[in-house]
Amino acid sequence: MSKRISELPLASSITGTEVLPIVQGGVTKKIAINTISGANFGWGRYDDTQYTAGSPYTFTSAPFTVPNNAGNIIDNTDFTFYSSNELRAENIDDVYIITIAFKAQISNGNGYMDLYLESGNGTPYDRVRDTITFPKGANQDHTFAKTFQFYADEFVVANGLSVKMDASHNGHIHDVIYFIQRTLKY
């Protein structure tokens, strides 16, 4: 005797090998959960180990790529979300969230810094940005964690995406961490 879905017991956890019924071309079939596109979105954490509090990266009042040598990597996927100073995307139209954590200081108490993404192909990723101020004053370390969401176009899949900063004054940055998670996979 068959049961209605509402009469079946709830699973307490899944492994990904369970199957679901689907209708494809008018025919009912089964598919394993772990084969569904997007089932393993993945994440990665990339810590810069080169520039520390004792040896920070010095920047001038000109745009620069945020330094991160990915000296320490923790991830749960076989895809690398960051390499060679570029954010990476696996597929066109995948969606990602990046949290950029770091410590920085600036030489002027009224100074600021823009943090943004840059592609180089004309897609306006640079509109994904935030302006950072330094309320503790000049030459004082500030701790920041900024989160951005972005999607991947053809250029980003082929060439990557840079994390950039543009400061009003000279300063230092260190202890950079990128935490990247894919929220939609095509």
Query: Which residue blocks in the chain are alpha helix, DSSP H?
Result: 154-159
Q: Look up the CATH number of domain 43-184.
A: 2.60.120.40
Give the residue ranges of the chain where pLDDT is below 70: 1, 15-16, 34-40
Task: Domain ranges for the chain, please list them.
Answer: 43-184
Look up the pTM and report it: 0.79
Residue 29: per-residue pLDDT: 86
H or E element, residue 74: strand 72-75
Residue 35: per-residue pLDDT: 66
Q: SS3 of 28, please?
A: strand
Residue 24: per-residue pLDDT: 82
Residue 105: per-residue pLDDT: 97
Q: Are 133 and 115 in contact (CB under 8 A)?
A: no
